[in-house]
Amino acid sequence: MDGPLDREINEQIRAMMETDPAAAAEKIRQCLEETDNIQLNIAITGEPGTGKSTFVNAFRGINNNSEGAAPTGCENMTTNPTSYHHPDYTKVIIWDLPGIGSTMWPADKYVERVELDKFDFFIILSADRFRENDVKLVKEIQKMEKKFYFVCSKVNHNLRDEERSQMDFTKEKTLKTIYEDRVKGLEELGLKSPQVFLLLSPDVSLQGLKELKSTFEEDLPELKKHALRLTMIIIYKQVLNNKKENFLAKIKYYCIISATGAILPVPLLSAGVDLSLICLAFRWYLVGFGLDTSSLNKLAATTGISCNDEITNLKFKNKLLKSSLISKALIHVANTSVIVSKKEGVVSMLRILVAPTLSFTTTYVALNVFVTEFAEKSHRIFKRALGLNT
């Protein structure tokens, strides 16, 4: 499955992310303006038999028996995710997914096996009240910060049942009750203003589907942009992880230098070596993760974020972070020395004997903290720069 952008542009942006995150952010900003070029992969999901394949057809404006329609009915269960282009919307691909909770697609394996994370937007079909599997899907989608519509299919069956059992039955009142009940179910899961649509039957001309389509048309540009932003954040995270791995792999060399300095029996030399190394590495990491002042200024300028914004404020937080992390590292040295001296009692001898390990550990801990925290911070800032809340 292709991502929201052509492979070539994706690779171009990835390369920029490695060397110049601000330039990558600017390129992404340009891509966000051309929503026609952004692909949106929509997954139609839910339990088996809820009308997913029928919905795929209706959404594409065709009937179940039209040519090229998704196979429907209990004899034509969807066995693998199958894609369909939408005739009216450019770069919108609809994926008819197998039902969650069937013998072939058990609920506990569904998310991984169906590769739910590859899809950008979800339409969950349910032929009744919320079930455990629907909740599972909603939670997974929320975890990925993606969006979804909830579609209640076969509502004509609910209407028929209510009509039989209620003396004062009216269609409007029952539809309102069903709608409110489904919305309440989603709100109880912590969702604000969930988008719920009722489908009375698979008829392509019916009201529920018309409403869904007009909402979708309105939402489409924003859905595409959201999909692009999320994908770019995932790529950035991969780039950051590679950088992190590289930096972490080199830490042991710094630690050896630090430990070598530490065995020299000159008072305070080891702390001096540790500290200057730590400061040097700190600077490399800042630049490497695009957190130095000039990179942050460039990012702020390209993303149009004002001076009072969080991104600019982070520059000041960096300064604080710098002092607090370094003092943390020194406190670590101090604490370790105290523990050793109390236990053994022969402070000066042990100071020389244990110094290499001590210095090694201190530098190791401090540099690990920097790399991990900076990677995390860089990820948050980039997310923010692309307009996603952190």
Q: Which residues bind ligand GDP (CB under 6 A)?
A: 48-54, 72-73, 77-78, 99, 153-154, 156-157, 199, 201-202
C-alpha dihedral (172, 174, 180, 186), degrees to nearest 10: -130
Q: Which helix (DSSP H) or strand (DSSP E) does residue 92 occupy?
A: strand 92-96
Radius of gyration in angstroms for the set of CA atoms belonging to the chain, rounded to a whole number = 28
Among Mg ion, ligand GDP, none, partner that 61 touches (CB below 5 to 8 angstroms by kind): none
Identified binder of Mg ion from the candidate list 35, 41, 45, 53, rule CB under 5 A = 53
Q: Is-contact 121 223, C-beta < 8 A?
A: yes
| CB-nearer residue toward Mg ion: 78 or 270 | 78
Q: Which does 156 bind (CB under 5 to 8 A by kind): ligand GDP, Mg ion, none?
A: ligand GDP
Q: What is the number of alpha carbons within 13 Å of residue 186 lying toward its C-beta?
A: 24
* Residue 303 site contact among Mg ion, ligand GDP, none (CB < 5 to 8 Å, cut-off depends on kind): none
Minimum CB separation from ligand GDP for residue 152, in Å?
9
Collect all residues with Cβ–Cβ distance below 8 Å to 359 and sequence separation of at least 6: 255, 258, 259, 261, 262, 270, 273, 274, 333
Least Cβ distance, residue 53 to Mg ion (angstroms): 3
Confirm if 156 and 207 have CB atoms less than 8 A apart. no
Which position's Cβ is nearest ligand GDP? Answer: 51
Does 45 bind Mg ion (CB under 5 A)? Our answer is no
Q: Minimum distance between the CB of residue 180 and ligand GDP, rounded to whole angstroms? A: 20
Tell how strand 196-198 and strand 147-152 pair up: parallel
The distance of closest approach from Cβ of residue 67 to ligand GDP in the complex, given in angstroms and rounded to an integer, is: 17
- When the beta carbons of 52 and 377 are compared against ligand GDP, the nearer one is 52
Token digits for 275? 């500290």
Q: How far is the CB of 76 from Mg ion (least distance, A)?
A: 7
Q: How far apart (Å, rounded) are the C-alpha atoms in residues 373 and 285?
A: 10
For residue 80, give both structure tokens: 């693998």
- 154 contact, one of Mg ion, ligand GDP, none, CB 5-8 Å limit per kind: ligand GDP
Give the residue with the Cβ less far from ligand GDP, 63 or 324.
63
Q: How do the residues of the chain divide into helix, strand and coil, expressed in percent and rounded to 5?
A: 65, 10, 25
Kindly state whether residue 302 participates in binding Mg ion, applying the rule CB under 5 A.
Answer: no
Q: Cα separation of 282 and 383, whole Å? A: 23
Sheet holding 121-126, edge to edge: 82-85, 92-96, 40-46, 121-126, 147-152, 196-198
CB of 4 to ligand GDP, least distance (A): 26
Is residue 201 helix, strand or coil? coil
| Closer residue to ligand GDP in complex, CB, 127/230 | 127
> Of residues 41, 50, 57, 78, which one binds Mg ion by CB under 5 A?
78
- Burial of 299 by CB count in 10 Å (0-12 exposed, 13-18 middle, 19+ buried)? buried
- Whether residue 355 contacts residue 262, with contact meaning beta carbons closer than 8 Å, is answered with yes
Residue 387 binds which one of Mg ion, ligand GDP, none, with CB within 5 to 8 A depending on kind? none
Nearer to ligand GDP, 123 or 223 (CB): 123
Q: Which residues contact 36 (CB under 8 A, 6 or more apart)?
A: 90, 91
Q: Of 78 and 258, which has the nearer Cβ to ligand GDP?
A: 78
**Residue 356's binding partner, choosing from Mg ion, ligand GDP, none, with beta-carbon cut-off 5 to 8 A by kind?**
none
Q: How far is the CB of 127 from Mg ion (least distance, A)?
A: 13
Q: Quick one: what does residue 50 bind among Mg ion, ligand GDP, none, with the CB cut-off 5 to 8 Å set by partner type? A: ligand GDP
Q: Which is nearer to ligand GDP, 24 or 111 (CB)?
A: 111
Residue 199 or 259 having the CB closest to ligand GDP = 199
Report the nearest approach of ligand GDP to the CB of residue 95 (Å). 12
Nearer of residues 142 and 156 to ligand GDP, judged by Cβ: 156
| Angstrom distance (rounded) from CA 40 to CA 18 | 26
Q: Residue 195, interface with Mg ion (CB under 5 A)?
A: no
Residues that bind Mg ion (CB under 5 A): 52-53, 78
